[in-house]
Amino acid sequence: MNSAVIVFPASNCDRDAADALAKVTGKPSRMVWHGDASVPDDIDLIVLPGGFSYGDYLRTGAMAAHSPIMKDVVRRAKAGTPVLGICNGFQILCEAGLLPGVLMRNANLKFVCRPVPLVVEETQSMYTRNYAKGEAITVPVAHGEGNYFADEETLDQLEGEGRVAFRYVDNPNGSARNIAGILSENRRILGLMPHPERVCDPLTGGTDGKRLFEALL
């Protein structure tokens, strides 16, 4: 599997994502700069990593969503290329219109950085098929704007179509219906606020995130 990690100004989890992918694929990811015009043609997976792209000015992910590279990311996503957005990457996916809803300031207005328990809600996707439905896992979060919001109609649609991938056990940010991650309609795009790339090695706190990347193989 050939993967590309998009690097924005102030991305700070791009190398973590690349390292996690290398652990399971045995090959390095292409690091693609936000100002590039296109993603390499042979890429099977695009990752939008965590961080603070463009300093989180305007709204988190808003400026990154209009980076030159995002035109090609959107084009590739609509053509079926899998796209994984982690934390800031989730925010960018929502701002780019590839996923519904928006990520707002945490309800307590404080930055949250700690491991959190999650429940796997949906296993019928290329990202989650290595988990059991209802399984409890622990994955860290690190964000100030992880409060997922969408109107009730959209939330009902996500629930009804089985597109809520992960849910918080103890909601750390006020997200609607405890949502921690969602899938696109074609289930080839996943956005989530927790960081699975940070739990791919026992030395860094666990391996609950590794199965997500292994599932992509």
pLDDT (tens, 9 = 90+) of the chain, 217 residues, equals: 999 999 999 999 999 999 999 999 999 999 999 999 999 999 999 999 999 999 999 899 999 999 999 999 999 999 999 999 999 999 999 999 999 999 999 999 999 999 999 999 999 999 999 999 999 999 999 999 999 999 999 999 999 999 999 999 999 999 999 999 999 999 999 999 999 999 999 998 899 999 999 999 9
- Taking domain 3-215, whether its CATH number is 3.40.50.300 is answered by no
In total, the chain counts a number of residues equal to: 217
Given 95, 121, 145, 197, the catalytic residue: 197
Nearest of 107, 103, 108 to residue 64 by alpha carbon: 103
Per the annotation, the verdict on 197 as an active-site residue is: yes
CA distance 93 to 70: 10
Token couple for 7: 């690097």
- Contact between 103 and 179 under an 8 Å Cβ cutoff? The reply is no
DSSP code, position 43: -
Given 13, 34, 95, 195, the catalytic residue: 195
| Interval 163-190: pLDDT, tens | 999 999 999 999 999 999 999 999 999 9
**CA angle (88, 98, 142) in 5-degree steps:** 15
Given 13, 34, 87, 145, the catalytic residue: 87
H helix runs in 26-180, sequence order: 68-78, 88-95, 152-160
CA distance 117 to 135: 10
How confident is the model at residue 205, as a pLDDT? Answer: 84
How confident is the model at residue 120, as a pLDDT? Answer: 98
CA distance 185 to 162: 10
How confident is the model at residue 204, as a pLDDT? Answer: 85
